[in-house]
Amino acid sequence: MDKQHLLQCIIEKITLDAELALSAAKAAHEAAINEETQPDNKYDTLSLEASYIAQGHANRAQELKKALEVYKKLEMQNFAPYEPFYLTALVGIEYEDGRIRQLFLGPDAGGLKVNCDGEEIVVITPGSPLCTALLGKQVGDVVSAGRATDKEFEIISVC
């Protein structure tokens, strides 16, 4: 996969998610200040709850805008199968049960799922146990991440 195209897919997904979060924040804010949600008594908390939801969505929109700026400045690196890989690597892993997953080691927006050219790619960041386990590895390495009960997987591709 062309990693520049993948980067563009990630930027588009973050942009869309940020717009949705901002729209949700505005809608929740409108609900919080609407006359119909103003409290009738001290136990009526609908307006307060709506304001908390608005703040949560606004915070998420800010996080996504920050991630967007990081990805717009990101320089992609290519990695050979026989060399250790780090951030900006696109890694294919195969679980013991034969499932294959594509992971992008990114600087931000961990957990983001991107559909790029019909393939689902999950962004993971150094803050996750899985990314930490992968950093510095190479194709053919067998890795396990997280709790001791988690299954192992093999690194089958990198670029």
Look at residue 84 and tell me if it is in a domain: no
pLDDT score, position 149? 55
77-86 residue pLDDT tens: 999 999 999 9
Q: What is the pLDDT of residue 117?
A: 93
Same domain for 99 and 131, yes or no, is yes
Q: Let me know whether 153 and 95 are in one domain.
A: yes
pLDDT tens for 129-142 read 999 999 999 999 99
Q: Identify which has the larger pLDDT, 96 or 119.
A: 119
Percent of the chain clearing pLDDT 90 (strictly above): 69
Amino acid at 119: E
pTM of the model: 0.86
Q: Are residues 69 and 94 in the same domain?
A: no
- Give the mean pLDDT of 22-30: 85
**Those residues with Cβ within 8 angstroms of residue 11's Cβ, 6 or more apart along the chain or in another chain:** 68, 71, 72
Spell out the residues 6+ positions from residue 9 whose beta carbon is closer than 8 angstroms to its own. Answer: 114, 115, 116, 117, 121
81: in domain:
no
Range of the domain at 133: 90-158
Count the domains in the chain. Answer: 2
Looking at the fold, whether 97 and 63 belong to one and the same domain comes out as: no
Let me know if residue 24 belongs to a domain: yes
Instruction: Identify the pLDDT of residue 84.
Output: 95
Distance CA 1, CA 120 (A): 12
Domain end point (choices 12, 44, 73):
73
pLDDT value of residue 16: 97
Strand pairing report for 100-105 and 119-124:
parallel
Report which of 133, 61, 149, 57 is spatially closest to residue 91, judged by C-alpha positions: 133
Domain CATH for 100: 3.10.50.30
d(C-alpha 17, C-alpha 138), whole Å: 32
Give the tens place of pLDDT for each residue, 108-155.
Answer: 999 999 999 999 999 999 999 999 999 999 999 999 876 655 678 999
CA distances from 57 to 20, 38, 77 (A): 9, 20, 33
Last residue of a domain, one of 38, 73, 108: 73
Q: Is residue 79 part of a domain?
A: no
Lowest model confidence (mean pLDDT) among 19-28, 41-50, 87-96, 118-127:
41-50
Q: Is residue 110 part of a domain?
A: yes
Interior angle at CA 131, CA 10 and CA 99, nearest 5: 80
